[in-house]
């Protein structure tokens, strides 16, 4: 567990340095392909960050925050889109907006949009099933959310089950609890 905590500190050190590079150097490059090329090494590093950990907890969290969230925000930033545009006023805000699921108030967006492919499938289904029948917006939203939840479950859970994640997860939690008990609650031993 101590090795995992050391890796955790190293990963955040690398992440802060990398995001600082994007803030200071990449932001001075014109938006487009050149800025994307300048951000690409950071994106590549963030793809490998979950491999620094053997723990499901740390690798899963780092995969979410760096591999998925930060990479997509940096790609959008390369084209002056997304929550990092316009650029946050200081480095600490840029780091927080890049690495955490924070929506900056300087560029608010509507949250009522659904992915286009879900809309296309929904149109096909309703066109086939009901023809010209009008469906209330509430039923339409319910069917859309049901479709997204069902398909994401089919795609998301089988690899986790095959990889033994649901067996490793409670074992690692118990290991962490034992580690904390040993560090902080062992008196006079």
pLDDT digits (tens, 9 = 90+) for 106-127: 545 544 556 677 777 776 776 6
SS3 category, 79: coil
The average confidence (pLDDT) of the chain is 82
Q: Residue 115 has what pLDDT?
A: 67
End-to-end CA distance of the chain: 20
Both 8 and 81 in a single domain?
Answer: yes
Residues 117 and 178 in one domain: yes
Range scoring the smallest mean pLDDT among 46-50, 76-80, 159-163: 159-163
Residue 75's pLDDT is what?
93
Banded model confidence at residue 18, pLDDT cuts 50, 70, 90: very high
Out of 90, 109, 128, a domain closes at: 109
Considering the domain architecture, whether residues 25 and 118 belong to the same structural domain is answered as no
So what's the pLDDT on residue 144? 82
Range of the domain at 125: 110-189
Considering 59, 81, 109, which residue would you say is the last residue of a domain?
Answer: 109
| Alpha carbon distance 75, 58 (integer Å) | 24
pLDDT given at position 149: 85
Phi-psi region of 30 (alpha: psi -120 to 50; beta: other; left: phi over 0): beta
- The pLDDT value given to residue 87: 81
Residue 57 confidence (pLDDT): 83
Most trustworthy range by pLDDT among 51-65, 97-111, 113-127: 51-65
Boundary of a domain, candidates 79, 109, 139: 109
């Amino acid at each position: 567990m101590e090795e995992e905590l050391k890796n955790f500190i190293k990963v955040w050190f690398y992440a802060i340095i990398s995001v600082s590079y994007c803030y200071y150097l990449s932001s001075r490059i014109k938006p487009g392909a050149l800025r994307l090329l300048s951000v690409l090494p950071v994106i590549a590093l963030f793809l490998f960050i979950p491999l620094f950990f053997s723990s499901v907890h740390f690798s899963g969290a780092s995969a979410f925050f760096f591999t998925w969230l930060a990479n997509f925000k940096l790609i959008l930033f390369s084209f002056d889109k997304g929550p990092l545009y316009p650029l946050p006023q200081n480095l600490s805000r840029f780091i927080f907006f890049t690495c955490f699921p924070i929506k900056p108030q300087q560029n608010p967006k509507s949250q009522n949009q659904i992915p286009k492919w879900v809309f296309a499938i929904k149109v096909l289904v309703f066109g086939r099933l009901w023809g010209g029948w009008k469906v209330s917006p509430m039923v339409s939203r319910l069917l859309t959310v049901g479709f997204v939840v069902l398909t994401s479950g089919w795609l998301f859970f089988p690899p986790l089950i095959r990889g033994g994640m649901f067996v490793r997860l409670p074992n690692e939690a118990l290991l962490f609890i034992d580690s904390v008990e040993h560090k902080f609650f062992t008196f006079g031993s």
